[in-house]
Amino acid sequence: MDFNNQRVKKDLGTRVNEQIRVPKVLLIDSSGKNIGETDTYTALQMARDAELDLVEVGANSNPPVCRIMDYSKYIYEQKKKQRKNKAGKAKELKEFRFSVVIDKYDMDTRIRRASEFLEKGHPVKITVTRKGRQPYQQMKEVFSQILTNFSEYSSIEAEPKSESNSISITLKGDGKTKNKQNSNKENKAFQSKGEQESKDDVQTESSGTSKD
């Protein structure tokens, strides 16, 4: 057994074997049995006899809690847990909304900020909205124009979410994709639906009724 693993102590803040310099410890043996308060020297000897390590698992107790175990396995499990916890901390979703009549400066600013959040690992939702009688086709064209700035990113949804007054898509914040045709495919995905809704607009306007 390695009784001087200084590097791992630095990584995990865990004392092991001779690094445990208090006179007594609360000992748990390799089977999980609580031995109770034990001289540290005796606990170390028990660990050596079992060809294992004495690992401090409760530094805040007085005396500290130590367990006889395989330290290498303990390191592996702790680091695996750290990686899992890190992966589980999802980045906050950021949404950027664009109107059909947004000016170029505001559009460029929001596109730039959205790109910055994607680079930091955040998922980003791009939404384009229209009001009243603003044409659906115009909204779709603005959406397509914006999406060309994110062609190197993949999306969470299989296709953009298209409604009567909005189009949106959520881009992944976990890195770029080499599939630069991504945006073109997504644009085609809602094309037929958009054309149908454009026809509905025409029919509605001809009847003298406006959509909300």
Judgement on whether residues 80 and 109 belong to the same structural domain of the protein: no
The reported pLDDT for the residue numbered 81 is 82
Give tens-digit pLDDT for 34-74.
999 999 999 999 999 999 999 998 888 889 999 999 998 88
- How many domains does one find in the chain? 2
Supply the pTM of this predicted model.
Answer: 0.47
Helix (H, G, I), strand (E, B) or coil at 111: helix
β-sheet bridge partners, residue 16: 55
pLDDT < 70 positions in the chain: 1-12, 87-89, 174-212
Asked whether residue 16 is domain-assigned, the answer is yes
CA distance 9 to 145: 53
β-sheet bridge partners, residue 68: 54
> For position 70, which CATH number holds?
3.10.20.80
Judgement on whether residues 113 and 63 belong to the same structural domain of the protein: no
Give tens-digit pLDDT for 26-35.
999 998 899 9
Residue type, 199: K
CA distance 155 to 187: 12
User: What is the domain range of residue 59?
Assistant: 6-87
Distances (CA, A) of 172 to 118, 154, 175, 193: 7, 6, 7, 24
